[in-house]
Amino acid sequence: MKFTVIKENDLFFVSNSSGDAPHPSLDAFGYGLFTRDTRVLSQWTWNTDPSVFVELASDGSRNFEAIYHYTNREWRLSENVVVPRESLHAVRRQFVDGCRFYEQGEIENFSAETITLEVAYEMDADFLDMFEVRAGKTLAGREQLKRQIAMEDGPQSKTFRYMAKDGTRCTTIVRFHANHHPPSPFFGVPKVGARLCIPPRGKCTWVVSVTPSMAGTVDVETSACPREPAAPNVDLSLTEVDTKRRQIVHDYENWLQKAPRVSGCKAFTTWYCRGLRDVRMLLTDIGHGRFPVAGVPWYAVPFGRDSLITALQMLPADVDVARGTLATMAAFQGRTVDPSRDEEPGKIMHELRAGELTRTGKVPFGPYYGTIDATPLFLNLAADYAAWTADQEWLRRLLPAVDSAFTWIEQYGDRDGDGFVEYLSEAAEGISNQGWKDSGDSIQHKEGTLATGPIALCEVQGYVFRAYRRWAEVFTWLHMPEQARHCQERADRLRRSFIQSFWLDDEDAIALALDGNKRPVRTLTSNMGQVLWSEILPRTLADRVIDRMLADDMFSGFGVRTLSANEISYNPLSYHNGSVWPHDNSLIIAGMAKYGRHDAVAHLVEGLLTAAEGFELFRLPELFAGIAADKVSRPVPYPVSCSPQAWAAATPVLILASLLGLHPDVPAGRVYLNPSLPTSIPRLKIESIWIGDGKLSIELQRTSTGQTRFHILENTTGLSVHQTSSREVVKDATQ
């Protein structure tokens, strides 16, 4: 399904390839204009009479803006006059500024005749909750509410109003601003349009703005990011609209300027820059700083796991993303025991929704806490933020949330006191599987039966181990020796018990999980690759896991599959049982790099880079099919994958750090490097990596013997640079 999404902050528009949002009765995909998890415009279509236009091209690469080009087919204007094909050029430009959606139209006439066209827009608003939109139908009792939407028509406007069941007033105002002369009459319900007379060699331009407004009795999540209703009868000039567009362009430029600049390999640079732009698109602020929502169109809301992993991936590009993410997660940290939302004190949320179904309690997502991994990921991000910034003042303010998170791990996460963190959903409308593979069939035993809980996932134990180990270092730096000692002891204990319980010696692998009877789930999955990122395994076992990940049943040629092709439940077109997820691979690559396995890193990076080249704009989606690369010319898309999706977009940033072997330790005054380049990237120049209060710039060069030399171009960080041991790296610079 090809669709286009433009987004700025919490407002986004989903259209088809023509720039239209067809009426839901004609296409239930989920097109429309959305804010606060509510569809405030369910139809937005453009047409002309006579219907003579055909599509030429479209461009949504700027993320907040999409441009559509059309020309005409040949048609008879009168008995004696035929308008040749390609005589007209029509352009629709759509963009969002975070508060409003705009459309500008322009038609140029290159013929020798005066052309008269009736240009019409059709629109509707249903104010459906995103859950209803995704389901493609209204829930029980909602049809009656839907019929209560009021419509008001002005001479150049149309207004839709709806009073939600919780008292929230929802308003969408559509205003047309004619910029051609003389102004054309506006008319009609359900059509709002204009009859345009375009002289020979002439041009006609107009502006359309759509302003969503939701005001009234609202909950905290909604009111944290209020919408600004448009003032009535305010005419909008082309200059004013263009000024708003330039402001967003400038913000994108500033965002890209803050990140390291990469050159030397066109393919990798294109992939990297696309990822940066897409992460910028997904940034949202609900009152605690900008953080990445999970993805568009279905998950443009705070997600604990997704937002935290994306922020971890983005540390080499912008540490502010980590700070905004941590602050947002801390603001909604669990406070009480509430089984209806799987909430417990200290637990980091899974998902925060603001739609009507959430506000009225029909779904438990305001917020919902059914995630087993967000809490240790929160701790990992906070510790890594410390390593990148040494921002002691800010971290001390975060310490109460850190302490609560550790308390949750020990008192609630470890349900039976065996040292492992397990999940078991208690909410009636909750998620049954609460790791990152959260589909209902993702945790299966080798014979294909579903594992029963409480379930202890292998990668989650790795996250917890890494959180303890990293915070032992942070607490030492903060002069908190008792806390540091406690964390180190817990990490050592967990490592011993993890290897004893999860290691599958006959498979050279790690069990996916322990089920409720402490029986290993021996299914071979990509989860064991993420365990490498935590460094919980000794090197000898890590090497065996890495070699296992590179086998043909695990590695498709484009990336590591979520499930081995040898397993009975393997399906390369499934969500979690054989597909390839870019973010999953980025964490696996980061883990392989930590163990100095440059051969494996190169293998996987080559695969993902090839996959990126097979997608439009080098934009890797949330996931794609696990079909082997030697059977297809490019990756096979997954039909309803989010794109852009935050942790897929941030994948090349973490891979860049993995290629550098980059590990800063600002509190200790050091930064570690262990660079290596794959064959397809013979040279890479990385300028202005912000670490602490300064910048580090590095140039890498692959030699004819396959080694990687590096040269430090700039170091204003005040940190000493240390090369970690590796036979494959030759140092070519002095600090």
State pLDDT tens for residues 701-731. 999 888 999 999 999 999 999 988 543 333 3
State pLDDT tens for residues 107-129. 999 998 888 888 888 899 999 99
Mean pLDDT, the chain, as a whole number?
89
Looking at residue 731, what is its pLDDT?
34
Alpha carbon distance 11, 583 (integer Å): 25
Helix (H, G, I), strand (E, B) or coil at 588: helix
Helix (H, G, I), strand (E, B) or coil at 206: strand
Alpha carbon distance 524, 538 (integer Å): 20
Looking at residue 2, what is its pLDDT?
79
**Nearest C-alpha neighbor of 214 from the set 56, 377, 34:** 34
- Under a CB-based contact definition with an 8 Å cutoff, are residues 307 and 377 in contact? no
Question: Is the pLDDT reported for residue 370 higher than 70?
Answer: yes
Instruction: Bin 70: left if φ > 0, else alpha if -120 < ψ < 50, else beta.
Output: beta
Task: Read off the amino acid at residue 618.
Answer: F
Alpha carbon distance 362, 428 (integer Å): 11
Q: Is it true that domain 259-660 has CATH number 1.50.10.10?
A: yes
Where is 683: in which H helix or E strand? strand 683-691
User: Residue 74, Cβ neighbours under 10 Å: how many?
Assistant: 11
User: Residue 596, Cβ neighbours under 10 Å: how many?
Assistant: 21
**pLDDT range class, residue 391, cuts 50, 70, 90:** very high
Question: Is the pLDDT reported for residue 217 higher than 80?
Answer: no
Looking at residue 202, what is its pLDDT?
83
State pLDDT tens for residues 454-483. 999 999 999 999 999 999 999 999 999 999
Q: How far is CA 447 from the centre of its chain?
A: 34
Question: Is the pLDDT reported for residue 234 higher than 60?
Answer: no
Exposure of 596 in the CB half-sphere (CA atoms within 13 A): 12
Looking at residue 1, what is its pLDDT?
63
State pLDDT tens for residues 304-327. 999 999 999 999 999 999 999 999
In this structure, is the dihedral angle defined by the CA atoms of residues 369, 370, 375 and 378, taken in order, positive or negative? Answer: negative
Alpha carbon distance 523, 515 (integer Å): 12
**pLDDT range class, residue 178, cuts 50, 70, 90:** low
Burial 648-659, CB ≥16 within 10 A → b, else e? bbbbbbbbbbbb
Question: Is the pLDDT reported for residue 156 higher than 90?
Answer: no
Q: What percent of the chain lies above the pLDDT cut of 70?
A: 91
Looking at residue 235, what is its pLDDT?
52
688 CB-contact burial (10 Å; exposed 0-12 / middle 13-18 / buried 19+): middle
* Token pair of 68 as six digits: 């559509």
Q: Is it true that domain 4-243 has CATH number 2.70.98.40?
A: yes
Q: Do domains 4-243 and 259-660 have the same CATH topology?
A: no
At residue 97's C-alpha, the angle toward residues 94 and 98, to 5°, is 125
Looking at residue 232, what is its pLDDT?
41
Question: Is the pLDDT reported for residue 182 higher than 70?
Answer: no
**Nearest C-alpha neighbor of 580 from the set 648, 486, 480, 494:** 648
Taking each helix axis as running N to C, give the angle between helix 392-408 and helix 374-389, from 0 to 180 degrees, rounded to the nearest 10: 160
State pLDDT tens for residues 244-295. 899 999 999 999 999 999 999 999 999 999 999 999 999 999 999 999 999 9
Q: Domain limits of the chain?
A: 4-243, 259-660, 668-731
479 contacts: CB under 8 Å, gap ≥ 6: none
Where is 461: in which H helix or E strand? helix 458-477
At residue 228's C-alpha, the angle toward residues 240 and 64, to 5°, is 55
In this structure, is the dihedral angle defined by the CA atoms of residues 527, 532, 534 and 538, taken in order, positive or negative? Answer: positive
Tell me phi and psi for residue 109, to 5 degrees.
-110, 110
pLDDT (average), residues 193-209: 79
- Under a CB-based contact definition with an 8 Å cutoff, are residues 359 and 219 in contact? yes
* Token pair of 250 as six digits: 């400038």
State pLDDT tens for residues 48-67. 989 999 999 999 999 999 99
Alpha carbon distance 654, 650 (integer Å): 7
* Token pair of 208 as six digits: 């359309």
Of 207 and 253, the one with more pLDDT: 253
- Under a CB-based contact definition with an 8 Å cutoff, are residues 330 and 291 in contact? no
* Token pair of 194 as six digits: 């204009």
**Nearest C-alpha neighbor of 363 from the set 350, 348, 378:** 350
Of 445 and 1, the one with more pLDDT: 445
Looking at residue 485, what is its pLDDT?
98
Looking at residue 179, what is its pLDDT?
58
